[in-house]
Amino acid sequence: MIVLAIDTSAIASAALIRCHESFSDAAVLASFATEDTKSHAEVLAPGIRALLDEQSVSGADIARIVVGVGPGPFTGLRSGIATARSLAFAWDTPLEGLMSLDALAWDAVAEGAPSGEFLVATDARRKELYWARYAAEGTLIDGPHVTSPGELPALPVYGAGAGIYPERLASAGARRVAAFDAAQPTAASLGLVAVARLAAGSQLPDTTPLYLRESDAQVPGPRKRAL
């Protein structure tokens, strides 16, 4: 069985995950991830097409689609979710969501890094971070949140968000993990998290995006009278 994972909460990424019908023995068949945080719409669909061609996989071979639902900026996050929804409709394939920060937590645990509770954080722009708190084995404890770096708990912080504001984190007692201070959520890790949870009998959430902020776009009010 093949699962297509997509995430655009920070960078644009996609991956093909192979696993048994019981969701056991998962492995990444192929993946791509950009470094650019602003070209999601341009690169995502061609990137997915290239992955399918590389593995000689068609839409009919995809048993499930999982998409990262953020938190993340509006434009980038919408690109991934809209693409996932479109493919799920076109291929008549089950579609589920998963919080993107869980992918970073998976990477941290896979490296054997955390010895206790830890945080993962990504750039929320406006001098803020998206973050969540996890137990040492990667179980979500709290979050997601969007706050200033100085409001994070005094714990180790994994992810690119920590690399942007190390001094402000330090002033709050938090500590960036240098080996992860450029790490972003990727579809490959998101897919592995999703398959592991399905194997454990858990249900995945729907694809409602976690924006955590109101949109900057506002509906125009009525025109003022000139006279």
- The CATH number of the domain holding residue 78 is 3.30.420.40
Q: Identify whether 49 is part of a domain.
A: yes
Least confidently predicted of 85-99, 103-117, 122-136: 103-117
Q: Do residues 151 and 189 both lie within one domain? A: no
Average pLDDT over residues 178-186: 95
Q: Identify whether 226 is part of a domain.
A: no
**Average pLDDT of the chain, as a whole number:** 92
Q: Identify whether 225 is part of a domain.
A: no
In this structure, what token pair is assigned to residue 202? 């858990």
- pLDDT of the residue at 217: 45
Average pLDDT over residues 149-161: 96
Q: What's the CA gap between 132 and 147, in Å, rounded?
A: 11
Q: Do residues 115 and 171 both lie within one domain? A: yes
Q: Do residues 91 and 192 both lie within one domain? A: yes
Q: Are 125 and 160 in contact (CB under 8 A)?
A: no
- pLDDT of the residue at 85: 98
**pLDDT above 50: residue 218:** no
Q: Do residues 64 and 157 both lie within one domain? A: no
Q: Identify whether 88 is part of a domain.
A: yes
Q: Do residues 161 and 193 both lie within one domain? A: no
Q: Identify whether 204 is part of a domain.
A: no
Q: Do residues 84 and 191 both lie within one domain? A: yes
Q: Do residues 147 and 191 both lie within one domain? A: no
pLDDT digits (tens, 9 = 90+) for 43-76: 999 999 999 999 999 999 999 999 999 999 998 9
- pLDDT of the residue at 194: 97
Share of the chain above pLDDT 70, in %: 94
Q: Do residues 127 and 170 both lie within one domain? A: yes
Number of helices and strands (H, E) in the chain?
A: 6, 10
- pLDDT of the residue at 42: 84
**pLDDT above 60: residue 106:** yes
Q: Do residues 132 and 59 both lie within one domain? A: no
- pLDDT of the residue at 114: 85
Q: How confident is the model at residue 224 (pLDDT cuts 50, 70, 90)?
A: low
DSSP 3-state percent helix, strand, coil across the chain (nearest 5)? 35, 25, 40
**pLDDT above 60: residue 172:** yes
Domain extent, residue 147, equals: 101-180
Q: How confident is the model at residue 219 (pLDDT cuts 50, 70, 90)?
A: very low
Q: Per the structure, how many domains does the chain have?
A: 2
Q: From start to end of 126-172, where are the E strands?
A: 128-134, 140-147, 156-158
Q: What's the CA gap between 170 and 128, in Å, rounded?
A: 15
H runs (alpha helix) in 18-157:
40-54, 74-91, 101-110
Q: Do residues 172 and 194 both lie within one domain? A: no
Q: Identify whether 207 is part of a domain.
A: no
Q: Do residues 81 and 189 both lie within one domain? A: yes
Q: Do residues 13 and 35 both lie within one domain? A: yes
